Amino acid sequence: MTGYDVCKRAFSLFGVSQEAVVCDPGAQSRVLLDIFNQLLLDLKCREVDSLSTELQAEDAQIDALVYGVAMMTALARADRAKNDLFARLYNAKRALALKEVTRIGDVLPKPAEV
């Protein structure tokens, strides 16, 4: 599964059909990629250089990632109710995905070097 596949699944949670979502690799946003990588790091996954890169993650991590992208999309749309819902779902799925991790720390992500 690629980052674009995750985005399509996340956008479908907003009622947008997966067929209607067009993910053009040439038009990818650097901001979206940075947010995506922050979520990947939060889930203890390897960062990607592009959203078309195949993800190296377990199913539970990918499931949590979908809700993380949906959470951030709701935040960007200023949809407080959906953001709250997706934040709760993301945190629950994150806990499930990281149940094998012995130590989880809350840290601020490092900004990407430009």
In whole angstroms, give the CA distance from residue 99 to residue 114.
Answer: 34
What is the arithmetic mean of pLDDT over 50-70?
90
Given pLDDT bands bounded at 50, 70 and 90, which one contains residue 25? low
pLDDT of residue 113: 61
Residue 26 predicted with pLDDT over 80:
no
pLDDT of residue 23: 56
In whole angstroms, give the CA distance from residue 37 to residue 35.
Answer: 5
Between 109 and 13, name the one with better pLDDT: 13
> What amino acid is encoded at 103 in this protein?
R
Residues 63-109 have pLDDT tens digits of 999 999 999 888 888 889 999 999 999 999 999 888 876 555 666 66
| Per-domain residue ranges of the chain | 3-97
DSSP state of 27: G
**8, 18 contact by CB (below 8 A):** yes
Given pLDDT bands bounded at 50, 70 and 90, which one contains residue 31? confident
